[in-house]
Structure 1
Amino acid sequence: MPSRAPSRPEGTITRGTTHPNRLRRMDRWLAAAHGPALRRSPTPPSAVDLGYGAAPWTAVELLERLRTVRPDVRVHGVEIDPERVAAARAYEREGLAFVQGGFEIPLPLGEAPRGVTLIRAANVLRQYAEGEVAPAWARLCARLAPDGLLIEGTCDEIGRRHVWVALGPEGPRTVTFAARLATLATPSDLAERLPKALIHRNVPGEPVHAFLHDFDRAWATAAPYGALSARQRWVRAVRALSTSWPLTDGPRRWRQGEVTVRWAALAPRGGPG
């Protein structure tokens, strides 16, 4: 890992919109899905909150949530805007630091000797062109430890709807859709939160469009279960979806308002990954 940040960090300053608990659904999934890798790390694992925004809440929350899995985890909030870094340093504590940087992930010398265990880039690439996604993914994945994970995706302003891609050092693995079910009219409402790699591909002929179409159909068929709860309706719809799409999770995650699909099934035709 580099010992110091380059003179010009890689990336562009984002709008910086952030709210407490905005990424709680993503964090909950991370703790469950990546907890074993965090626990296996032979050294204190390093996690990065890339592009945390105008306020440091998401980095603070990431530390608190990951420490329920691995108490010695260290979190770095990385921001390209030096004024945001300076403001965030008032929130530093043992295990939490803020540094200026971008896609190069400029951790200090001695940090993450095996690579970074976790990088979370939420609402960062949405402002970039679709053609810039694959190079950014490759740059970030190159910083991962052998069992590391990159999460890149988008959510709404208060964390009700999320879609994210999970990537390992080799590239994209899965896509996860997550929602506060009480606010969801149809699963295709999540289309507005598709990450940059997919949002322009929600058109006929593309796999993600077919997936959301099938999801809406399964949701409509499961309507009678809505009398029990939105959760029961979601679980029944996802169970029906699992007969034709390669889901990687099961009822325990479905009950959380989530569903995870293999990337290969949704990958854009001729797109990244």
Structure 2
Amino acid sequence: MSDLSLNPSTSAAAWKSLRNSVWNSPAVRKILVLALLALTWELAARFNAKPILFPSFVETMTALWQAITTENLLQASWVSMSVLLKGYAIALALALVLVSLAVASRFVRELLQTLISMFNPLPAIALLPVAMLWFGLGEKSLLVVLVHAVLWPFALAALTGFDSVPETQRLVGRNYGLRGPSYVARILIPAALPSILYGLKIAWAFAWRTLIAAELVFGVSSSNGGLGWFIFRNRNELFTDKVFAGLAMVIIIGLAVEGIVFRIIESVTVRRWGMQR
């Protein structure tokens, strides 16, 4: 027969090529990892047989769906996300201003490096009592804590990235007469973008976990309970499956931001420019 589709060797090669293409897909590998973790979770919960302490994956997903449909879990998640985005944006703007000034002034550089050394190791949640004392119980206190969580790690990553820009690129910018903000925007930021994106990821992770921890302590922001408050309230009522559902929502949002938002940014910038594999 002349039909290649009936040739066993051709079919085997096509199947191998399809298998390799599927396996080499990062999305497929991530789905397999998540499925394996879910299976391990389910088996461990069934072996433990204590739902009040450790609900199964199926019970948690059921509670998550019920919380979304009947208890406004999505609204609580958006309350948390809206506060986080405000604090994240404020901190990024402050960090970029400080780092830009540090590039132009040795004094500001020493000042910024000293502040980073002082405050970067300080857990943001440790500032919560002071923030509550100064700004009361509400969004302002959350923003203070979030700005602290984001500002220092991102400033450190951005400053490191700026320092790693080759001198030849710096000279090109100066030869074109670029100074001040235009020099930073057109030369330093594009050249240091991998480090900046890394700093954005680290700052996002710090901000997200700090926000949830802060909401677990005093929870209410602008008269609306956030995701951390949802977890805290259900823990007090011993609804362990809903507690795990809230934790699952925290993980889902984290995976979505990391796997979608930052991946899109990377694909249209550093990956497209050949700066990162």
TM range (shorter): under 0.3
Greater relative contact order (Cα 8 A, min sep 6): structure 1 or 2?
2
Query: What TM-score comes out, normalization by structure 2 length?
Result: 0.23
More strand by share: 1
